[in-house]
Amino acid sequence: MQYHVCHETDVPRGEKRSYTVKNIPVVVVHSEHDEFYAIYGICPHQRSPLGEGTLVGLTEATQPGEEFAIVRKGEIIRCPWHGFGFDVKTGACLTEPDKFRVRTYPIKVDNHEIYLEI
């Protein structure tokens, strides 16, 4: 089923907002690339609110000794309590990939309104 969450402008590009949809806490992320993502809003490590965490990117270098570049800016959400990083596209935990993951939800944008599929 689809549930209305908000208007596109409620989540500016590069930011996130927390919502509750059908008693489910979700974080809606508007990426730097103008894509919307939704993830379950509770960290599986110790149940902290992911919506209070920060959106970051990953650092990468092409070879040792080179300067780092920030990639995937705004596509990783860090838990506010212990810093566990979660990919907003897949829900995969970057810190403990074999142990933790958060659910992701399909987003549909129709006439500038954001809908979540649960």
Question: CA nearest 45: which of 89, 90, 77?
Answer: 77
Average pLDDT over residues 105-111: 96
Return the CATH number at 34. Answer: 2.102.10.10
Residue 19 has pLDDT above 80, yes or no: yes
Q: Which domain holds residue 13?
A: 2-117
Give the number of domains in the chain: 1
Q: What phi and psi, each to the nearest 5 degrees, are found at residue 67? A: -65, 150
Which whole number is the average pLDDT over 46-53? 96
Of the pLDDT bands very low, low, confident and very high (cuts 50, 70, 90), residue 62 is: confident
